Structure 1
Amino acid sequence: MQEIWLKIENWLRDNAPKCLDVLTSGASDTQISELEEYLSIQLPEDVKASYRLHNGQIAYEYGLFNGCEFLSLERIKNEWQIWKDLLDSGTFQAADGQDQGCEPDLGVANVWWSAKWIPLTYDGSGNHDCLDLAPAKGGKVGQIISMWHDDPERKIIAPSFRDWLQSYAEGLESGKFVFSDEYNGIVNVDDVAFT
């Protein structure tokens, strides 16, 4: 994890120091355990190792991950609780009382939202990259999925947190991502309108 974060930090230092400034120092093992207890989950070791180095962003001043906030442990709790309250209220139930389901990739549960989908990023509109701790058959515990608040599509975007973070670091180094003042953060170069 340390090598991956070093690549990200070096790129931020050279290309987006504003984003480096909002990245926090690491969380303690106690803070990580408190999150696990609150969510009734056990985080994969690669996630814990990453959060020991950087506990998300101080604030959503700049989008660190493709325009999105990299959630701190406290912000994970907040965003997760919003979805949990919606789940408990029956918001995702169809007329027959069953979950309305979604349009999942193979390996992702066919539910609108699961309490075992742990938000890692936030785009300001209710959408997340989530750590999936309850995959369907063909999936892998700890895979990263995209979760949209108003779209049923659920895509696997990485087989693990380590792969997700490594892919992002490589994307930064290869020029796939750039800092954009227009989008107030780091975004895919294809999304930036060049005029």
Structure 2
Amino acid sequence: MRKLWARIKAALRASAPDRLAVLAGGATPEVIADAETRLGVTLPVDVRESYAVHNGSGDADVLAHRTMGLIDVPLLSLDAVVRDREMWLGWWEDGSFDDRRADPRGPVRAQWWCRGWVPVTWDGGGDHLCIDLDPASGGVSGQVIYFCHEVGPVEVVAPSWRAYLEGYAADLESGRLRFEGGELVALG
């Protein structure tokens, strides 16, 4: 995972060096274990390894999100992951979503929220990329899904967090994605 983050940072250095300064240092094994205890889940190895390299980016956007158009999003810190998941679980458990139905594409549970979803990014408006630890039939535990606060889960974005980051690194390295004037743009 360190090599993968090094690729992302090298590409960011070329088009958005200011984004490098916002990446937090890695979480210790104790911080990761504490977050897992608070979440009540065991995170996939690739997610734990990623957080050991960078534990969030504050409010600064360093990753890409393409499902509803291209936007850049921050990497949530483990504390923010716990906070956001508790928020969604609270609404789910109090029945706030009882009258809502979801119609996701692909092997994602067709319910508004699921205890097995762990948000790792946030778009500033209620949408997340989540690690799906409880996929529908045909899915893979640890797949990355897009969750929209207006329609619920939308689709699988990548088969794993590693695959998501590898795709992002490749897009930055090839120039298909780059930051221009502080905005993430798709080229070519």
Q: TM-score by structure 1 length?
A: 0.88
Determine the C-alpha separation between the residues in 2 that align with 1:65 and 1:179: 11
Q: What's the CA shift for 1:148?
A: 0.3
Residues 122-133 of structure 1 aligned to structure 2 (within 5 Å): 122-133=122-133
Alignment of 1:35-114 (within 5 A): 35-57=35-57, 59-60=58-59, 62-66=60-64, 67-94=72-99, 100-114=100-114
**Which sections of structure 1, spanning at least 5 residues, go unmatched?**
95-99, 191-195
Match of 2:61, as an amino acid?
Answer: G
Residue 7 of structure 1: aligned partner: 7
The alignment of Structure 1 onto Structure 2 pairs a total of residues equal to 180
Q: What is the alpha-carbon distance in structure 2 between the residues aligned to residue 101 and residue 13 of structure 1?
A: 42
Q: Which residue of 1 aligns with 2:68?
A: none
In structure 1, C-alpha distance between the alignment counterparts of 2:90 and 2:127, rounded to whole Å: 16
Distance 1:78 1:188 in 2: 30
Aligned to 1:141: 141
Greater gyration radius: 1
The residue type equivalent to 1:112 in the other structure is W
Tell me the equivalent position of 1:119: 119
178, 186, 189: which one pairs with 2:186? 189
1:189 counterpart letter in structure 2: A
Between the aligned partners of 1:139 and 1:153, the Cα distance in structure 2 is: 14
Question: Any runs of at least 4 consecutive aligned residues in structure 1 with deviations exceeding 2 A, and if so which?
Answer: none
Question: Which amino acid counterpart does residue 132 of structure 2 have in structure 1?
Answer: D
CA drift of 1:153 comes to 5.1
Query: Secondary structure of 1:155's partner?
Result: strand
RMSD: 1.4
- 3-state SS of 1:70 partner: coil
CA distance in 2, matches of 1:52, 1:46: 10
SS at match of 2:63: coil
Secondary structure of the residue that 2:34 maps to in structure 1?
A: helix
Alpha-carbon separation, structure 1, partners of 2:175 and 2:150: 30
Structure 2 gap segments, 5+ residues each: 65-71
